Copies of this chain bind each other. A is one copy, B any other.
Amino acid sequence: MRTLKYAILGLIKQSPMTGYDITNEFNKELIHFWNAKHSQIYPELKKLVTEGLITYKTEISGEVLEKKVYSITEKGTKEFQEWLMTDDKIEPTAKDRFRLKMYFSTITDKETLLRLLNSQTRQHFEKLSSLRERFNQYEGVPDFSDSRFGDYIVLEGAVMREENYLEWLQKCLDYL
């Protein structure tokens, strides 16, 4: 599938950046639907260079610190757009360790279950709060021509997903 490849191509297409920048994008902007560690990103960047999908030029920060600023090539742009336009089958599973535990819930006692459900609720509520904070910085929906449109809709999707998870947790609590 090589989704990381396309995630990187998409980020570099938005604007040229370093491996370090890409790592930050994953940890800050894309964290709610994709992520990767720098140990995965640097080798992938090398691979994309040998495949001719990106190029880089070395810049100097301060006196000696070298950084590689990557740009997408025409070939890279073409492959990225082909990927973007491809209609995928929905993924079969979204693994969720907590749901797995709940499947086995009758093997334990109500007190334990309440403790786990309350903890999950707290954590998801915190996550929802920080998502809402970011989401509320938007004043209305950006137009499709606005480059922030994508960020807006996935952020709204993340908020909705958290709200829904909390609803489910509450339902489980009500059943006990």
Contact = CB atoms under 8 A, between A and B. Distances in A.
Interface of A: 1, 3, 6-7, 10, 13, 30-35, 80-81, 84-85, 87-108, 110, 112, 115-116, 119-120, 123-124, 127, 141, 144-147, 149-151, 153-154, 156-157, 160-161, 163-164, 167-168, 171-172, 175-176
Contacts of A102: 150, 153-154, 157
Copies in the complex: 2
A140 to B, nearest CB: 11
B157 A99 contact: yes
A120 B90 contact: yes
Contacts of A33: 93-96, 99-100, 103
Nearest to A118: B87
Contact of A104 (B10, B127, B145, B156): B10
A147 B30 contact: no
Contacts of A105: 144, 149-150, 153
Given A95-B34, A160-B164, A175-B141, A84 B106 contact: no
A101 B127 contact: no
B103 A84 contact: no
A90 B176 CA distance: 22
